[in-house]
Amino acid sequence: MTIANNSPIRLGDLCVVDVAGDDAETFLQGQFCNDLTAVTAPGAQLTGYCSPKGRLLATPLIVRVSGGIRLVLPVSIVEATLKRLRMFVMRADVTFTTRDDLAVIGVFDPADPLFATMGAAPPQQRFEAMEVDDVTVTAWSKEEAQRWLAIVPLSSPAVPTNSDSSPWTLADIRAGIPAIVATTQERFIPQMLNFTELGGLSFTKGCYPGQEIVARTRYLGKLKKHMQRFVGPGPDVPSPGDILGESGSTETAEVVNAVLAPDGSVELLAVVRIERAEAAIPLNGGLADVRDILYPPRPGDDS
């Protein structure tokens, strides 16, 4: 899974959905947990789609383009997510179209030929985007580990043959960026996945499904669990949703995402109790240690 010469990767586990119609923005604003009105084209935003109990069903990337709004979602949950969204459209003028003619690619090199064909330097600030004709590029992570998520026509020569998404997953894990998949739907509220710190959650935007629970956790409750990054022994890679540790114990960890690193270790994001944020967790007969504590718990902080 070494990235040869920082070559781009086709992220075949992600797909693009166009959301169109006069009511598209208003509808999505009432469904997602971040403030869509804060994004102008071209631009992007991490957001969450919650159940009425405040548990995440999806963590879409919203991309504003000149022609409207796009969602980038895992292929494994796109049908279920769109089915649920359509249940609430009612008489609103909103349509969802899965764009099978578009590909999502991950770019690691600022000198990638894609940027030359666009005639512009890549965006630098996270979620800053640029759009040239039918190509959109979004700055995906922080400056010290810069990457870009590009949406290009499937027929474009920019679409790479390399489709091993493991390096991209590893980079996401190291950046503390979670992804909800089918086996982790309705497991976590946004704050458990550090959405406040990641900029994926607004407390001023108004109502959306689960908003009361999410707000209560911040203003009235105390968050008991949050996500951290761990590194432990291989070779077996736990699946998203797996529980590491003795069942029923307060010392268990819930796997969010995991991948096998080039050195044979396993790197993962897992949700643990805050008081155990610095403790190791069991993995493959050994222990996985906390690395680069993402967001240390702050005494008395409810969010």
Residue 240: which residues within 8 A CB-CB, separation 6 or more?
181, 183, 184, 255, 256, 257, 258
* pLDDT, mean of residues 45-52: 97
Q: Is the pLDDT of residue 80 over 50?
A: yes
pLDDT value of position 221? 65
pLDDT value of position 5? 53
Residue 229: which residues within 8 A CB-CB, separation 6 or more?
173, 174, 176, 267, 268, 269, 290, 291, 292, 294
d(CA 283, CA 123): 38
d(CA 29, CA 112): 35
* Token code pair at residue 36: 């869509």
User: Which residues sit opposite 103 in a β-bridge?
Assistant: 152
Residues 249-270 have pLDDT tens digits of: 777 999 999 999 999 999 999 9
pLDDT-based confidence at residue 293 (cuts at 50, 70, 90): low
d(CA 140, CA 136): 12
d(CA 200, CA 215): 14
Structural contact between residues 8 and 106, judged by C-beta atoms closer than 8 angstroms = yes
pLDDT-based confidence at residue 302 (cuts at 50, 70, 90): very low
Residues 123-168 have pLDDT tens digits of: 998 899 999 999 999 999 765 678 999 999 999 999 999 999 999 9
pLDDT-based confidence at residue 246 (cuts at 50, 70, 90): confident
* pLDDT, mean of residues 236-244: 97
SS3 38: helix
Residues 280-290 have pLDDT tens digits of: 999 999 999 99
Mean pLDDT of the chain: 91
Short-list 118, 173, 175, 116, CA closest to 144: 175
Q: Is 102 left (phi over 0), alpha (psi -120 to 50) or beta?
A: beta
CA 78-76-93 angle, 5° bins: 5
Q: Is the pLDDT of residue 296 over 70?
A: no
Q: Among the residues of 192-293, which ranges form H helices?
A: 195-198, 211-219
Percent of the chain scoring above 90 in pLDDT: 81
* pLDDT, mean of residues 39-56: 96
Q: Among 44-48, 120-124, 180-184, where is mean pLDDT lowest?
A: 120-124
Domains of the chain, earliest start first: 4-172 (3.30.1360.120), 224-291 (2.40.30.110)
Say how many CA atoms lie within 13 Å of 61 toward its Cβ: 28
Residue 132: which residues within 8 A CB-CB, separation 6 or more?
118, 119, 120
